[in-house]
Amino acid sequence: MKKTPFLVSTSIVALLVASVFSGPAHATTKDSSMNTEEAVERLVELNPGTTEEEMSAGLREYAEENGQSYEQVVDDALKAAEEEEAQWQKDKAEYEFDRETRAAKAVGKLPRVNVGGDIFYNPASTVGFKHGHVGIYAVNDYIVEAPGIGKLSHRVHHSTVKVYKTSKLLYVKITETRRRSAGKYARDKLRNKPYRRNFAVNKDPYADRMNCSQLVWAAYKNSVKIDLDGNGGPGVYPDDIVKSSATKTWRTY
């Protein structure tokens, strides 16, 4: 009978030791089938051209700056990335493809708009990236965008940009004057930036490199203090801007 307390205490110690030595690499995300290390690997897969070291470092920095656990930030980032891919797959299912080139058929070109600061969304992805694309009208007939890998962000005439089935035009639900300010900010401050591959951690409004949704988000964040990220977290994706409570779609192709 005297041995029972010893056995109980030994069991407790064993449990405590096991919990102490179970490192963060084995912590699980909300999806219990995937641990944190595997979640980072999946994020790299969804952001081609990034590395696990780069992804992990960016997520840890974001966690520290925002007072969140690394595991929670990884979980939020993966959820956002998976949602973006799911939307891309949904849009892609509605494409019409050319039988010879196997490329998605365009259904037209971007129109001239009445107010600078409007946003366009295209379902067609950057090569290798399973997400859409967004850009901002600098003025009525010119847009600013981060077009993709190996290219600088630029200003081009609206008629040079193709639209596809499920492409959208949006406006931000603020005054026209403030919307124009965001468009002009993009034109004056956000051109000639190299492309950033990492969408999972991209919410730096003053970054030297920018991807498409980061550029549109930064234009509004810096000029009129509007956050267009629809679901929070360390990354802003094209579909986040479409689904933001701050935007309204006024045309769908």
Domain spans, the chain: 38-252
Q: Where are the alpha helices (DSSP H) in the chain?
A: 3-20, 36-46, 52-65, 70-92, 176-189, 212-224, 238-242
SS3 104: strand
Query: Which run of H or of E encompasses 153?
Result: none
Q: What pLDDT sits at residue 119?
A: 98
Position 18 confidence tier, pLDDT thresholds 50, 70, 90: very low
Is residue 166 scored above 80 in pLDDT?
Answer: yes
Residue 197 one-letter amino acid: R
Is residue 26 scored above 80 in pLDDT?
Answer: no
Average pLDDT over residues 18-46: 65
Mean of pLDDT over the chain? 85
More confident residue, 93 or 243: 243
Percentage helix, strand, coil, to 5, in the chain? 40, 15, 45
Is residue 59 scored above 80 in pLDDT?
Answer: yes
Average pLDDT over residues 37-42: 95
CATH of 38-252, one of 3.90.1720, 2.40.30, 3.90.1150, 1.10.3470: 3.90.1720
More confident residue, 218 or 81: 218
Model confidence over 107-148: pLDDT tens digits?
999 999 999 999 999 986 555 567 789 999 999 999 999 999
More confident residue, 10 or 116: 116
Total count of residues recorded for the chain: 253
Is residue 33 scored above 50 in pLDDT?
Answer: yes
Is residue 4 scored above 70 in pLDDT?
Answer: no
Let me know the angle formed at the C-alpha of 120 by 118 and 125, rounded to the nearest 5 degrees: 155
Position 99 confidence tier, pLDDT thresholds 50, 70, 90: low
Average pLDDT over residues 230-239: 90
Is residue 83 scored above 70 in pLDDT?
Answer: yes
Model confidence over 172-186: pLDDT tens digits?
999 999 999 999 999
Query: Which run of H or of E encompasses 172?
Result: strand 168-172
Query: Which run of H or of E encompasses 123?
Result: none
